[in-house]
Amino acid sequence: MSIFLVTDGTAISYTDWGTGQPILFSHGWPLAGDAWAPQMLFFASQGYRVIAHDRRGHGKSGQPWAGNNMDQYADDLAELIEALDLKDMIMVGHSTGGGEIAHYVGRHGTARVAKMVLVGAVPPLMLKTEANPEGTPIEAFDGLRKGTATDRSQFFKDLSMPFYGFNKEDAKVNQGLRDTFWRLGMQGSIKAEYDCIREFSEVDYTEDLKKIDKPTLVVHGDADQIVPIAAAGLKTAKIVKGAELKIYPGAPHGLAETEAEKFNADVLAFIRA
């Protein structure tokens, strides 16, 4: 684990392993970089340099009261990328992390980017609106806010079930994954996690997606209960020019962990193509 201080003094914790072409992983809410452990080990072993950071207010990073918004997340990421001098990098973003890497491109361009992977990602817009009828009603996000604010520990334990699809009738529950979800979520700042709900639900990333001009792989499970595919992956694949869409039948939101071998193989093939 290393620490980088961004301009406002917030400490960003990150892991940086291996050598070769860099792959930067951006995690989902309310997790941290360690959620990418299966990918970090696999891709570093395949000869890549792998970097996973904890977004401000999450994991082991600093917990400022202010600045928990997507503009700042993208700018923090840009500072880290420049400090590590990452070039020709593969950017991989899950859920909120998909919004983060898309917004990074929207604000900072693709000069340092080779390819992008969006998995279970929130773009273009999660919130249901008149123009986005496939989205999720605001009441659902208000429920996330209430659960986070008033009973975070139990709420995260409960949320791990639909996150990994363990609430399905035929599902085999992996208690270890549930425990890790809870542990990573509880490491973060309640204020940052509360603020972040708006950023992944109400921010429209459509214009960011239009600025992606690098090969892009969109991966989404058609049984995702957290970020439903109709408002997310299916639309993103149409907005990003030339994007490749891979739909995982029956897969949940946390498919990079529940189907790590398949996901890793698909991403490796995409990188090498």
Alpha helix segments (H runs only) across the chain: 37-45, 70-83, 96-108, 138-163, 175-187, 190-201, 206-210, 233-239, 255-258, 260-272
The catalytic residue positions are 95, 224, 253
Domain that holds residue 43: 2-272
**What does the pLDDT look like over 108-152, one tens digit per residue?**
999 999 999 999 999 999 999 999 999 999 999 999 999 999 999
Q: With 90 as the cut, is the pLDDT of residue 1 above it?
A: no
pTM attached to this predicted model: 0.97
Write phi, then psi, for 18 (nearest 5 degrees): 80, 180
**What does the pLDDT look like over 148-178, one tens digit per residue?**
999 999 999 999 999 999 999 999 999 999 9
Go through the chain and tell me how many residues it has. 273
Q: Tell me if 229 sits within 8 A of 220, measured CB to CB.
A: yes
CATH number at residue 247: 3.40.50.1820
Number of domains in the chain: 1
**What does the pLDDT look like over 68-92, one tens digit per residue?**
999 999 999 999 999 999 999 999 9
